[in-house]
Amino acid sequence: QVQVLESGGGLVQPGGSLRLSCVASGLTLENYTVGWFRQAPGKEREGVSCISSSDGRSHHVDSVKGRFTISRDNAKNTVYLHMNSLKPEDTAVYYCATPYSEGFGCYTAPASLKILEYAYWGQGTQVTVSS
């Protein structure tokens, strides 16, 4: 019954910005930590950012800290990943995911971005940063 869907990817110039959206059905995102992950060609999937359900704080891995932010629009059951100052090394398929339990927290990155602790995943959206 649970489905997660990402959108908003595309082609952008280095230094540009994109906003990715994560929409869920079958669960209320407001009650869950939401994680963003990415996978570049030939590389392992890695955690990028997460936002907590308890205190609303977000955490990011060092490679994107200061450039990426997360926000929620609970009325739309949507979480956004705002990506600024994009670099070619940000090129990847980006995934949104939620953990198994409402009690799973987003406290630090990458510690709160363990792939096997996330249950519901979207299909991914391609982000390409190129001149």
Closest CA to 35 of 101, 121, 93: 121
Closest CA to 62 of 72, 49, 43: 49
Q: What's the pLDDT at 96? A: 98
Q: pLDDT tens digits, residue range 1-44?
A: 899 999 999 999 999 999 999 999 999 999 999 999 999 999 99
Closest CA to 104 of 16, 2, 9, 35: 35
Token pair of 75 as six digits: 């009325």
Token pair of 28 as six digits: 């209320």
Q: What's the pLDDT at 127? A: 98
Mean pLDDT of 121-127: 98
Q: What's the pLDDT at 34? A: 98
Q: pLDDT tens digits, residue range 52-94?
A: 998 889 999 999 999 999 999 999 999 999 999 999 999 999 9
- Bridge partners, residue 83, by sequence: 18, 68
